Chains A and B, each alone.
Chain A
Amino acid sequence: MNDRRTLLHGWGRTSPTAAHVVRPRTPEQVAEALAGAGERGALPRGLGRSYGDAAQDAGGVVLDCTGLTGPVRLDVERGEVTAPAGTSMDRLIAHLLERGLFVPVTPGTRHVTLGGAVAADVHGKNHPADGSLGAHVRALTLVTSDGSARRLRPEGDGSDLFWATVGGMGLTGVITEVTLAVIPVESAYMRVDTDRTADLEATLDLMARTDHRYSVAWLDLFARGGDLGRGVVTRAHHARTGDLPHALRRHPLRYGSTSLPLPPLTPPVGVVNTWTVGVFNALHHGRAPRRRRGQARSVTAYFHPLDALRGWNRMYGRLGVVQYQFVVPFGEEDTLAGIAADLSTARAPSFLAVLKRMGGSTPGPLSFPRPGWSLAVDLPADVPGLGAMLHGFDERVAEAGGRLYLAKDSRARAETVHAMYPELPAWRRVRDRADPDGVLISDMARRLRLL
């Protein structure tokens, strides 16, 4: 294990802090690293795709878990796969697709580790149909701060710690292995239906009455007045071989996951601003087909469009990007519309506003998904007055019975998050039993007083 002090930040690149980074390769080395943690504690980190400070521990020990890799074991009979927690979603998808299988849930990027995905209880475009990733975890191995490796399952003995770990942001221990249910697919393609919508109401309406397994809407929150919330809704099913054009039928399971690197430079001032976003959004909306049915698109093009540009977060410049994602229950569409209208009025340049319909939740006390509408918006951190505007949104989301997504948060107040996660005290009790000396801690946990 090498050991160095490194500045770490989240995907938003906003609040770097320094930590001793160790890269364990085995559960034994994980236990060793946890035992060696000092006063500032320790924390596991995956591929660093949380936007804020969730995977940082200033002054402490950060376990870079991308070294926890090894063979992926498939149990076809039981329809499940067991992989080390440092395995990336990218690698797992490649491994499964070759065998006509797919992950039950994938987030909007495939550059996450399996352990990180479980710790954030990620969701995908199929949330109403399939729930979050945690609903498909059959078992996981957790190394707790006492160094013991515990095999946890969603039911029976240890299930409370299992659910405290699903969505627990790495604060219960270090996940070293995950057993996940998998689904059979005939191809590496999606059968996509695309619709262009005129305004927010039309977008919500179309999303509400869809019976596709996957659906997502990109919204233009920069448009004004009657155009506000116009969008492009893409709904999909996994394509069967018969759905594919002839050219694709010969290698239906071919997985293409190439990406174009951006130059490794961060412009001092971001290139995402009111002008570029205005142009991009108008083009993106205008060029989308009004209505297209049954188009075959690769899983990467449908699920992970942004992965095509590696390091796109650097486009926001030195000050970085803030992502704001919340969910409000069905019936609270006015809250959603109000926030969308305020973003438009404030001319907050967002070229990434993603609306998803959410279904049932898992028993994870800190798991984000709740039935309702989820909106995720990327905003340059240097937008004047951004802090105050987002605090205002927080209050409206909380009042509507909604909540923020911890994996995206970088700026909320502790009181607000406590109100949004009423099961936090119950989570703490389970956590404190698993980590009585309080070894596991993150910058986010300090900021939001989660522990």
Chain B
Amino acid sequence: MRDSVGSVRSVLLLGGRSEIGLAIVERLVREGAREVVLAARGGVDPVPNALTGSGATVHSVEFDAARADTHTGTVAEAVKLVGDLDVVVDAFGVLGEQSEYEADPVAAARAATVNYTGHVSAGLAVAARLREQGHGTLVVLSSVAGVRVRRFNFVYGSAKAGLDGFAQGLADSLHGSGARVLVVRPGYVPTRMSAHVDPAPFPTTPAQVAEVVAGGLRSGATTVWAPRVLRPLFAGMRLMPRALWRRLGR
């Protein structure tokens, strides 16, 4: 359970190799979390450097985003390992290359499965558990790419748009259950996943995203942006005329 000063005991990371996800987990461990479950395809072994010697016990479980039928089982396995889930970080996803997606509709659909439908089944499986235990927060890694979908990455962006809407609806469905959803909208974060795309303005780092998430968990926010300046920026972006929006290089 989240205590009165914002520390939690247990964290489940869906997407156990996600750099942003791991940065969030590391941050929560530094603030007192003692049980960590990393969920990824084939498990996560060895334990990532950032979590060794942190004082937390790190477990690993099998998790395949594309196999919706296994998601409830993954959550149950995590519960068996650490008991109540105080924070679940939903951080899995693939970015890919827009031009390749346009040439290969099957690959595009596969990416959309991971980036959207995988979160629907995983999110609902987690929500059921949080509702049952009467507390806990699901942190959903959305993206500014989903706030207004852009031409240059619309396969990825549209999945994030769907995920963002799903997470907001899920948050409302959990109102009063003791469980919460925190939607995180990072901008461009240079990581292994985004190494192939050109940098965008207002870049941020996994550690900075983690910092914003920790703040949101403490304050009970429903949505956070990283960096924070993106919130007013995207309020303006939403109003940009379509003809101009279409021409945005990034």
Contacts and interface: CB of A to CB of B under 8 A. Distances in A.
A381 B134 contact: no
Contacts of A26: none
Contacts, number: 80
Interface string B30-48: 0110000000000000000
Interface in B51-108: 83-84
A410 B134 contact: no
B220 A18 contact: no
A17 B4 contact: no
Interface in A2-16: 5, 7, 12, 14-16
A59 interface: yes
Interface stretch (A217-225, A315-323, A394-402): A315-323
Contacts of A322: 4-5
Contacts of B133: 40, 58-59
A18 B220 CA distance: 16
- Best-surrounded residue of B132, B133, B135 (most CB of chain A within 10 A): B135
B134 A14 contact: no
A15 B1 contact: yes
Nearest to A52: B4
Contact of B4 (A5, A40, A60, A320): A320
B7 A18 contact: no
B52 to A, nearest CB: 21
B173 interface: no
Given A58-B84, A387-B32, A411 B4 contact: yes
Interface string A26-59: 0000000000000010000000000011000111
B32 A17 contact: no
A40 B177 CA distance: 15
Contacts of B7: 387, 411
Contact of A411 (B3, B134, B176, B177): B3
B199 interface: no
Contacts of A381: 4-5
A443 B1 contact: yes
Contacts of A410: 3-5
Contacts of B134: 17-19, 40, 57-60
A320 B134 CA distance: 20
A186 to B, nearest CB: 43
A447 interface: yes
A441 B135 CA distance: 15
B84 A15 contact: no
Contacts of B218: 319, 382
Interface string B173-186: 00011110000000
A447 B4 contact: no
Contacts of A12: 4
A57 B84 CA distance: 12
A contacts with B: majority SS = loop
Contacts of A52: 3-4
A386 interface: yes
Nearest to A410: B4
- Best-surrounded residue of B3, B5, B6, B83 (most CB of chain A within 10 A): B5
Contacts of A386: 5
A7 B4 CA distance: 15
A7 B176 contact: yes
B49 interface: no
B177 A18 contact: yes
B1 A446 contact: yes
Nearest to A14: B4
B213 to A, nearest CB: 16
Interface string B1-16: 1111111010000000
A377 to B, nearest CB: 14
B4 A15 contact: yes
Contacts of B31: 387
B135 A17 contact: yes
B34 to A, nearest CB: 9
A16 to B, nearest CB: 6
A319 B219 contact: yes
What 8 pairs between A and B have smallest CB-CB spacing?
A: A18-B178, A58-B134, A14-B4, A59-B134, A387-B5, A410-B4, A18-B134, A17-B135
Given A18-B179, A59-B132, A386-B5, 20 more contacts: A5-B176, A7-B178, A14-B4, A15-B4, A16-B135, A16-B178, A17-B1, A17-B134, A17-B135, A40-B132, A52-B3, A53-B3, A58-B135, A60-B134, A318-B220, A320-B4, A413-B32, A446-B1, A446-B83, A447-B9
